[in-house]
Amino acid sequence: MTITGQAQKYAVAWEVGLYNGFSEGTSAKHSTPLLEGLVTNLQGLSKEGAPARVLEAGAGLGSHALRLVEEGFLVIANEYCETATREILRKRNQLPQYYQTRLQVFQGDILDCLRTQDKESVTGFYAHSVFHTFS
């Protein structure tokens, strides 16, 4: 995959450690008002008894994706940067097996990630800080 433009600057920032801890302390619950609103709106939504499925674009270090998993959702954490994706996978591997199976990690472009999803399979879309990567 060729990285260009703002995405290239973003990838370099990850590689040199500029994002280390940047979103880790958002709150004690690793949350924001946007995330809390999503959780509230998705609670109780399911398809034939299955938990709601959420796609997070620009998952960064995965704190919000992990929070969504703990809330009972199936989560696809999409992250363009390989360094950040490795960190999400490391964190996922530290979870109990039950939670590990609820978190899918997709490294790459958000449009490629969206194309791989079955029609109407995603109940919620969450993008806290992904738009700064677009040129």
Per-residue pLDDT of the chain (135 residues), as tens digits, is 666 665 666 566 656 665 555 444 444 456 788 888 889 888 877 666 788 999 999 898 899 999 999 999 999 999 988 888 999 999 999 999 999 999 999 999 888 999 999 998 999 999 876 655 554
pLDDT in tens, 101-116: 999 999 998 889 999 9
Cβ–Cβ < 8 Å for 98, 114: no
Q: Could you tell me the CA-to-CA distances from 11 to 42, 65, 119, 132 in Å, in that order?
A: 31, 20, 30, 12
Rounded to whole angstroms, how far apart are CA atoms 50 and 124? Answer: 14
Predicted model pTM: 0.77
